[in-house]
A and B are shown apart, each in its own frame.
Chain A
Amino acid sequence: MWRLCLLTGTAFWGTAFWLAGTLPANAFLAYVSNEKSNTVSVIDTDQWAVVKTIKVGQRPRGIEFTRDGKFVLVAVGDDDTIQMIDTATQEVVDTLPSGPDPELFIQDKAGKVLYVANENDNTVTLIDLTRRARMGDVQVGVEPEGMAMSPDGKILINTSETTNMAHFIDTETRQIVANVLVGSRPRFAAFKSDGSELWVSSEVGGTVSIVDPVKHVVTSKITFEIPGLRREAIQPVGISITPDDKTAFIALGPANRVAVVDTATHQVVKYLLVGQRVWHMAFTPDNKFLLVTNGVSNDVSVIDVAALKVIKTIQVGELPWGITIAKP
Chain B
Amino acid sequence: MFQFGTISHIGARDFCGYSIRLLGGLLIGLNAYMTVALAADPTEIGIGYLRRAKVEQTLSLVEQPAADDGIAGARLAIEDNNTTGKFLNQHFTLEEVRLKEGEDAAKVAVALADRNIAFIIADLPADQLLKAADALRDRGTVLFNAGAIDDRLREEDCRVNIFHVAPTRSMLADGLAQYLVWKQWKRWLMVVGSHEQDRLFADALRRAASRFGAKIVQERVFEDTGGARRTDSGVTLIQRQMPVFTQQAPAYDVLVAADESEVFASYLPYRTWDPRPVAGSAGLIPKSWDAAQDQWGAVQMQNRFLKLNSRRMTALDMQAWTAARMIGEATSRVNSGDRKAVVDFLKGPDFSVAAFKGQRLTLRPWNQQLRQPILLADGRMVVSVSPQEGFLHQVSELDTLGVDQPETKCKLH
Contact = CB atoms under 8 A, between A and B. Distances in A.
A230 B83 contact: no
A232 B358 CA distance: 9
A204 B87 contact: no
Contacts of B358: 254
Contact of B359 (A119, A164, A204): A204
Nearest to A122: B83
Contact of A142 (B84, B88, B333): B84
Interface string A201-224: 000111000000000000000000
A187 to B, nearest CB: 9
B304 interface: yes
B87 A141 contact: yes
B390 to A, nearest CB: 13
A164 B354 CA distance: 10
B7 to A, nearest CB: 49
B397 interface: yes
A143 interface: yes
Contacts of B157: none
A142 to B, nearest CB: 5
A120 interface: yes
B83 A205 contact: no
Q: Taking each of A143, A160, A204, which has the highest tally of chain B beta carbons within 10 Å of its own beta carbon?
A: A204
A120 B303 contact: yes
B297 interface: yes
The size bracket of the interface on B is 20 to 34
B354 A165 contact: no
A230 B333 contact: no
A263 interface: no
Nearest to B359: A232
Contacts of B329: 164, 184
A184 B332 contact: no
Nearest to A161: B297
B266 interface: no
Contact of A163 (B87, B297, B352): B87
A181 interface: yes
B80 interface: yes
A175 interface: no
A85 B303 CA distance: 29
Interface string B343-364: 0000000001110001110000
B300 interface: yes
A161 B332 CA distance: 14
B297 A143 contact: yes
Contacts of A165: 84, 87
Given A179-B87, A232-B360, A204 B354 contact: yes
Contacts of B353: 184
A119 B304 CA distance: 10
A141 B83 CA distance: 6
Given A141-B87, A206-B360, A185 B300 contact: no
A120 B80 CA distance: 12
B300 A119 contact: yes
Contacts of B83: 122, 141-142, 163
Contacts of B352: 184, 204-205
A235 B359 CA distance: 8
A306 to B, nearest CB: 35
A162 B87 contact: no
B386 to A, nearest CB: 14
Interface string A150-184: 00000000001111110100000000100101001
Contacts of B303: 101, 120
B300 A184 contact: no
Contact of B332 (A164, A167, A176): A164
Interface in B87-127: 87-88
Nearest to A165: B87
Interface string A231-251: 011010000000000000000
18 contacts: A119-B300, A120-B303, A141-B87, A162-B80, A162-B84, A162-B354, A163-B84, A163-B332, A164-B329, A164-B332, A181-B333, A185-B297, A185-B354, A205-B352, A230-B397, A232-B360, A233-B359, A235-B359
Nearest 8 CB-CB pairs, A to B? A232-B359, A163-B84, A179-B87, A204-B354, A204-B360, A185-B354, A184-B354, A142-B80
Given A162-B84, A204-B360, A232-B360, 18 more contacts: A101-B300, A119-B300, A141-B87, A160-B84, A161-B297, A162-B325, A162-B354, A163-B84, A163-B87, A163-B332, A164-B332, A165-B84, A167-B87, A176-B87, A181-B332, A181-B333, A230-B396, A254-B358
Interface of A: 101, 119-120, 122, 141-143, 160-165, 167, 176, 179, 181, 184-185, 204-206, 230, 232-233, 235, 254
